Structure formats: structure tokens, C-alpha cells
Amino acid sequence: MNFIKYKVPKKQPYRTWYHFQSPQNWMNDPNAPMYYKGVYHFFYQHNPHAATFGDKMVWAHSVSYDLINWIHLNHAIEPSEPYDINSCWSGSATILPGKEQPLILYTGIDNNKHQVQNLAMPKNPSDPFLREWVKHPQNPVMTPPSGVEVNNFRDPSTASQGKDGKWRVVIGAQNGDEGKVVLYLSEDFVNWTQDPNPFYATDNTGVCECPDFFPVYFNGSTNGVDTSLHDPSVRQVFKISYLCRHEDYYFLGKYVCDEGNFIPDVKFTGTSLDLRLDYGKFYASKSFFDHAKNRRILWRWVNECDTTQDDIEKGWAGLQCIPRQVWLDESGKRLMHWPIEEVEKLRDKQISIMGEKLVGGTILEVSGITASQADVEVLFELPELENAEWLDESEVDPHLLCSEEYASRSGIIGPFGLLALASEDQAEHTAIFFRIYRAPNRYVCFMCSDQSKSSLRQDLDKTTYGTIFDIDPNLKTISLRSLIDRSIIESFGEKGRICITARVYPSLAIDKDAHLYVFNNGSKSVVISELNAWSMKQAEFVQEESINKL
């Protein structure tokens, strides 16, 4: 088997070193991630002809042994039949028990421009790379039902099997301004019927894309759960990507499998109170159960913030976040996220700072690493929380607060955090920071990723991202981890309770001219209890030149 290795071109300062990207052209939704015969599989929406979204989308396919280093294969599914001739859109994989054979359900755009669901199977299940896929002769296996628009019926989920032996999938839909998710059942994975009970609907949200539906343990365990597990030890997570907002929301609740209905703990409000997987640039996420390491892994697409013309000139658009392990926190009220452990294999040169006191107005450079490709973990020791200033959350929009150059405003406890992808004079920087407040009967933390000064360029989307979350009144330390990779910064607050992803395109802070700083603009001192930062090596991305069997 021959391979061609890809290297980041010198004139491509925004192409990442260790995040997954297509070799060229457009990519968007992650599709059908799975672990099969010792190999991780990742499919994604791809336009093979241009760096823009197209009308003949295919499923590109890559494989890996560690979810970090990848082999790009030939396309897995392409438009070829009346039921998908105008594009092959998103879907999911399910590995049937006993047979241990993966099946893919995907959305096809048919010859009438209707969205229908189709079934594909590996041509040779013994091939661990699953290089070739065939389409089922009975396609389409699902067509838009009544009460669903024919051009808004898409993105089937991974199937779960109930105690009655029937398979269940949820599919995103729309009817007017009402967003919907519909439930389908099957005994053989080919013949599907719609459950008559309404599964989920929201007013004035538009189409619900890329629904994901999976169980999590509520006993504080970080272990993942197989999608088909239904017992008292688990709660259910229901995720929706709202196209009108381009954001991923999730609900925790109870699923009564035999009754076909999901009962969320809280309803969607359309406010900052709703739970999101990531409070930054993050969409169309897809999870899978990794039975090799007993964990649930989440993928998600991150699109560009520069112009379409920039994408065309770069020759590519879109990338994927580092896969995250997800689990339910001990309170049972929020999902935790953390980069998969395999990314630590790329850590190279390390520097550490211990016990450094940051008085108000301090900016300290973290030198000695390659700041344009880095992994940074910092633990801040906090002053007494009763010193914090007052905040009335009902009068505050976290995103607006973050957009007001809040990192440079002096508070009491904060803002403090990191200046990433910064120029030497800090004229360019992305600030990721915390600020602690007192609120009615509790303490809260404001976390922000501020891109307003991320580049001297003016033709960019520099949306800033922020959120507020409750913290333990006895909190003595708070942690921040950021994965920095040339044009993306993924930040994890308080051990993964809050995640914010940002795209940035510096004009000065590129390659060796990028710097990293830690800062405190609060009047109360904070202490760097421990900071560790690593330069990150480049992941391996190779193209399979032949399709010789292993």
C-alpha cells in the first residue's frame, strides 16, 4: 500500500498542523464516525470540485489508528442514482450486533430535489478500511412524511435498538417555522415506518439539523455508553443543530423507549440559559461510542471566518475540532468535554511556570515554545470569592458583554487568562479569560473568547463568544486549557465544563512571530498555581495511492 504525505505549504499560514482537514476543497458535516476492526473511520461532507459548498456533494472517507494521524481514502459515497443524483448529504453509521457489520443511513437529494433517506453497506466487510460501499436496491428507505417539507428532511442519526428488537433513528425536519425531529422504527433496517407520536418540535426555529441521540451514565463515570443501552443507570442526551442559529444545543432528559417519546428536563428558550455543546464556532456535531476504549467521542465541523474569495484562493475551507470525549458531570446537569488523550502524543517541547503571582495589570509571556501550534494548561489560584463584584444575570447578554473588549477592562476578580496567537506588541491577540461575580444566592463565572483584536485585517468575521456558568462557592482554583493551531483555538474552562472554539486569521502573529501571554486585569491578584505548555508536532496526513488490500 503506497501513501503520499501532505505537508502544510509555506504560503498557507492558516492551514492547521494537527486538526483534521480535507486535502483540498470544501468540507463540512462530520458523518458516520465509528471504530471497526481496529480502525477508526471518519466520513465527511465534501465538494471535490471547489472550496465552496456545491450541488454534487460526496462522502469523503479517511481512516486512522489513533484519531489524530489520518489516511485519506477514495470517496465512499457519491451521487449516482435517482435517489441521490443531486447530492449525498449527512448521515450516520450503526454497527449491527452479532453480524458486526456497519450500515450507513444518509440523506440523498433525489432527481426531484426532494430529501430522502438511503441505506449503504460495505462491499467487503472483511476489509478493515471499508474502502468500497454499495447502495441498497430498495433505496430510498424513507421519504418525507406528511407534515414535513420535502426539502427539509435530513440527517438520520445512529440507530438504537429497543427492548422490543426494533431499530430507531431520529431525522431532522421542518414544517414552516416549526423545527421538528421525527422518529422512525424498523425491524430489519430496510423497511422503516414513522412513529405516530411527535418526538420533538420547537416553534420559530426552522429546520433541526444533525440530531444526535445517545445515553450517558449519571453516576459521574467518564465511561461511554453504547447507543442501544436502555436501563435505569443512564440518562439521555438529545442534540440538535439549529440551522437558523448555526449553533448546537442539547437537552438532558428521560427516554421511554417503548413509548417513543423523549421528555427533556427543560424546554428550549432561545436564550443564553439553553445548554450548548460549545459556545463558539461549532456546528453539526456527531458522536459515536468507541467500544475499544469505552468512551463516547464527539466530532464537529468548524467553518471559516474569512471571505469566500479567501477560501477559493486558499483552495480549501472548513476543518474539524479535535475529537472530544464527553460524559455527564456529577451534578447530572451538564456534559463535560475533554480532548481525546491521543492528542497528547503530539506534545513536544515543554515549559512550566509554578507559583507566579499576577497582580492587576500583569502580562507575562509564556516563552520557549512554538506559540502558533501549542497545547496550554493553566491552573489559576483565586482570591476569596466574597471579594467579587455583583452581577445581575437577567440584565446581561454574555455575548454582548464579551464583544465590548471586556478583557482590557479592570474588574475585581478578573478578567484573567491567556492572550493566544498574539503579536509581540499584543496589537493582535485572542483573549480567552475568566471573570468571577457574585449573583443572587451563588457565584458565577464569565468565560469569554474575544476575537475583536485577533487580526489587523478588516474583512473577517470577528464574532466574540461568551457564557456565564455557576461555580462552587468554595472554589479555590479554576483551570483553562487551550489547543492552539494556526487558525483555530479550542478552549476548555474548568476541566471541560465550558468549551469555546474560535477561528482567527492573524496577519502578524504567524508561525515564529506568534506569541503567548498570560494576563490579569483584575484588581485582585491571582496566582498561576501551575502552567504547562507544549509545542505541538504536526500530525500525519497521507493519501492512499492504491487500494491494495492489507
Q: Which domains does the chain have, with CATH numbers?
A: 82-321 (2.115.10.20), 349-536 (2.60.120.560)
Q: Please name the residue that has the C-alpha cell 477592562.
A: 409
Give pTM, 2 decimals: 0.96
In the three-class reduction of DSSP (H, G, I as helix; E, B as strand; rest coil), residue 331 is classed as coil
Query: Of 430, 358, 435, which Cα lies nearest the Cα of 391?
Result: 435
Active site residues: 29
Residues 356/364, Cβ–Cβ less than 8 Å: yes
Per-residue pLDDT, averaged over 478-503, amounts to 98
Among residues 365, 391, 339, 393, the alpha carbon closest in space to that of 516 is found at 365
Cell digits of residue 534: 507544549
Question: What's the rounded Cα separation, in Å, for the pair 191 and 193?
Answer: 7
Tens digit of each residue's pLDDT (9 = 90 or more) over 401-442: 888 777 888 999 999 999 999 999 999 999 999 999 999 999
Say if residues 541 and 23 touch (Cβ distance below 8 Å): yes
Counting residues of the chain whose pLDDT is more than 70, the rounded percentage is 97
Q: What is the mean pLDDT of residues 93-109?
A: 93
- Burial call 408-437: b when 16+ CB within 10 Å, e when fewer: eeebbbbbbbbbbbbbeebebbbbbbbbbb
Phi, psi of 36 (to 5 degrees): -145, 120
Q: Are 407 and 453 in contact (CB under 8 A)?
A: no
For 90-110, what is the mean pLDDT? Answer: 94
pLDDT digit string, tens, across residues 359-389? 999 999 999 999 999 999 999 999 999 999 9
